[in-house]
Structure 1
Amino acid sequence: MATSAVARETVFALRRQIAKIEGTLSERLEAPAGSSFDADVPRQSLASSRNPTPARNLTIVRRGLAVAPPDAFLRTGAERLDAALSGGLPKAALSEFHGAATRDAGAVAGFVLSLISLILSQGPRLPVLWIGTSEVFREAGFPYAGGLHAFFGIEPEQLLFSEAPRLLDALWVADEAARMTALAAVILEIRGNPQRLDLTATRRLHARAQSAGRPLFLLRQAGEPEPTAAPVRLILSAAPAAARETIAGPLAGSIGRPAFTITIGKSRTALPGKFTLEWNPDERIFEERRGEEWAKNPVPVVSTSRRREDPATAPGAVLAFPAVGSPAAGDQSPRPERPAHRRPRRAGRGA
């Protein structure tokens, strides 16, 4: 009986570790038989006696749900989004940010740079490494140095870039950089759904981020959702900018703060949600745009894209013109023109 209880405890500890790596919910994990734990009393995750879990890595479980300390998450400042993500984005983990099309790469990059600004404001101002392939930077370009400081408070020398010729090289650089504690964060930007970035590769990157205690942000251009080890996946796109606020009210025809439309594709709580956040570059915080606030200025400043739902402009009056070759009454027929190369012959020359 003692051997069976120890075996069940070991299995339970392994299942807890797998759930932690994959970022899945833990309410389905059952306590080992014969344990004296109560479901309503907080309990620590079990570990093998040969490999005890350090005290700083212990996970508190209450009613089957993993509860992490508050400082383990990066709060965006938008209360509803943070609540849907069960506290915010995990700091020591792999997080995914998707753009449905290549044109959304700017919105994805802007949102991630906003998160980097929050990270640097809450901790040491360490450098950030941005990794991508030549194809990625050719399609989306590089961030503008002047905008980094003006909008996000990031000095140009704090953002390092690594341009790899192949995806295999970019993954190797990300795998090595994710384990470094000298970086505030690591950004890996890829395009599409490459076969090399499978579930095994994302598990390795997620484990590296957990070990270093640093976030690893995976940016995907025109990528489709697929199974990964990232506990959080956000789908981003640009939202219409509101008019700039002045003392006299909204300034007509102006462009206000950058805005993002965020859809939760995957999270630890599995709660769906769609939010519109504005980035305040002065205070360096996110502010959620509510429906009643947006109703004051519902017209986007920039014209909609080709996929707009607005009907085409009504046609004007139809005018009738005479057909070519049918002159109106009273008009004379034009004289036939002589080709320029056929000039009249001069007198005294033969035919």
Structure 2
Amino acid sequence: MTGARTNTLATLRGSIERIESHGDAYTPDRVALGHADADATLQGGLAVGAMHEVFAEAGRQSAAATGFVAGLAGRAGARRPLVWVRQDFTEIESGALSMSGLAELGLDPRLMVTVRAADVDTALRTAADALACDALGVVVLEVWGEARQLDLVASRKLTLAAQASGVTGLVLRVAAEPQPSTAETRWIVRAAHSPPGALWSAWGAPVFDAQLVRNRHGPVGRWIMEWKCDECLFEKPAAYPQPVAAAPAHRPYQTPALAGRRFA
């Protein structure tokens, strides 16, 4: 009995070593994000056919992270179908995905399929099945909160499926702490101030405070990245002066009656 147990243990160790050595030797293709500094740190851009993680705090940061993931999907998808897997609980917390909003970001809603999973286990199985389909471009797995099911073993399965099919996997984690995984990169995303838009625009371009905290094949960094909706790429935000309030048009800047007074 002891000999059989020892042989089984040796076999498992050998399998793990082969998987890990295969992962180290794996050199994925890359797609440029458009942001020069981020692409240089990533040695050419985001690795396709690999898994990437994006973390965000709950609240308004979850919306920023969703937009950032949509941008990554737009760059890595190469106009191929996108599958977005979400928990039902996620939709209760942050609302449903807006197809018109994704279209404004430059994605084609006709190439997107959303899947609502009842729980984390179902979401993991659905994402793994989707990653095995080489007809897709990107699979997004959105998980809200701490999920013990999304451990190192589950991460390794998703990574191997992505490597085998060439489909890029993006794991969006909201209100969760990073845990050990086999992800190629890990990002923490926050909202950043948008530059002032044109007079006819009610808001500026999407801008993200993106911190790369894990990079398996290089250094890390932090950048302010602006998403260009028309070009579907990230760029450095253009320098612009801070807006200054205009003087009232109906009266002088400082009326004579108040000119001599001092204000606390």
TM-score, normalised on structure 2?
Answer: 0.79
Deviation by residue 1:195-221 (Cα, 9 ceiling, x = unmatched): 111000000000000000010100001
SS in 2 for 1:152: coil
Between the aligned partners of 2:193 and 2:187, the Cα distance in structure 1 is: 19
Q: 1:18 aligns with which of 14, 17, 20?
A: 20
Alpha-carbon distance in structure 2 between the residues aligned to 1:83 and 1:12: 36
Match of 1:185 in 2: 138
- Distance in 2 between residues matched to 1:81 and 1:148, nearest whole Å: 23
SS for the counterpart of 1:275 is strand
Residue identity over aligned pairs, in percent, reads: 30
Letter of the 2:112 partner, please give it. Answer: L
CA deviation string 1:118-176 (max 9, x = no partner): 234xx3x332111111101211222222222232141x232111111111111111111
CA contact (8 A) 2:49 2:162 kept: yes
C-alpha deviation, 1:187, in angstroms = 0.5
Distance 1:297 1:165 in 2: 46
What is the rounded CA distance, in whole Å, between the counterparts of 2:47 and 2:217 in structure 1? Answer: 13
- How many equivalent residue pairs? 233
Match of 1:111 in 2: 68
Match of 1:176 among 105, 129, 145: 129
2:162–2:168: 8 Å Cα contact kept in structure 1?
yes
Distance 1:13 1:129, change over 3 A: closer
Contact 1:191-1:223 at 8 Å conserved across structures: yes
- Alpha-carbon contact 1:243-1:254 (below 8 Å) kept: no
Q: Quote how far apart the aligned CAs of 1:298 are.
A: 7.3
Deviation of the 1:268 alpha carbon: 2.0
Contact 1:84/1:269, CA 8 A, preserved across alignment: no
State the alpha-carbon separation in 2 of the partners of residues 88 and 141 from structure 1: 31
Give the superposition deviation at 1:253.
9.9
Give ranges in structure 2 of 5+ residues lacking alignment: 1-12, 245-262
User: Cα–Cα, structure 1 residues 103 and 208, in superposed 2: closer, same or farther, change >3 Å?
Assistant: same
Contact 2:36 2:235 in 1 (8 A): no
Q: Distance in 2 between matches of 1:80 and 1:257?
A: 19
8 Å contact kept, 1:199–1:228: yes
Q: Structure 1 stretch 253-262 or stretch 189-198: which is displaced more?
A: 253-262
Q: Of 224, 228, 238, which aligns to 2:181? A: 228
Higher relative contact order (CA 8 A, sep 6+): 2
Distance 1:78 1:225 in 2: 25
**Structure-2 change in CA distance of 1:178 and 1:253 (3 Å):** closer
1:100 matches 2:57: yes
Aligned to 2:169: 216
Q: Is the 8 A contact 2:76 2:168 kept in 1?
A: no
1:195-344 alignment runs, 5 A limit: 195-244=148-197, 255-289=203-237, 293=239, 296-297=241-242
Q: Which has the higher helix share?
A: 2
Q: Which runs of 4+ in 1 moved over 6 A?
A: 11-14
**For 2:73 and 2:203, how far apart are their aligned partners in 1?**
24
For residues 222 and 200 of structure 2, what CA distance do their matches in structure 1 show? 27
Structure 2 residue aligned with 1:135: 89
Equivalent in 84, 88, 98 of residue 41 of structure 2: 84
Distance in 1 (alpha carbons) for counterparts of 2:38 and 2:181: 22
RMSD: 2.7
The structure whose Rg is larger is 1
Mapped to 2, the partners of 1:210 and 1:12 lie a distance apart of 20
Structure 1 CA distance, aligned partners of 2:140 and 2:180?
19
- Taking the aligned partners of 1:279 and 1:252, their CA distance within structure 2 comes to 19
C-alpha separation in 2, matches of 1:88 and 1:254: 32
The unaligned stretches of length 5 or more in structure 1 are 1-10, 24-44, 46-58, 60-67, 246-250, 300-316, 318-351
Q: 1:132 is matched by which residue type in structure 2?
A: R
- Comparing 219-228 with 139-148, which one deviates more in the overlay? 139-148
Whole-Å Cα distance in 1 between the matches of residues 16 and 129 of structure 2? 26
Residue by residue, what CA displacement relative to the aligned partner does 1:71-113 show, whole Å, maximum 9, x if unpaired?
x012101110011122221101110011033431111111111
Matched letter for residue 272 of structure 1:
V
- The corresponding residue for 1:347 is none
**Alignment-derived partner of residue 163 in structure 1:** 116
Write out per-residue CA displacement over residues 225-274 of structure 1, whole angstroms, 9 at most, x where no aligned residue: 110010200110111111125xxxxx699631110000011002452311
Separation in 1, partners of 2:95, 2:200: 31
Partner of 1:73: 30
The 1:268/1:189 distance shift into structure 2, 3 A limit, reads same
SS of alignment partner, residue 105 of structure 2:
helix
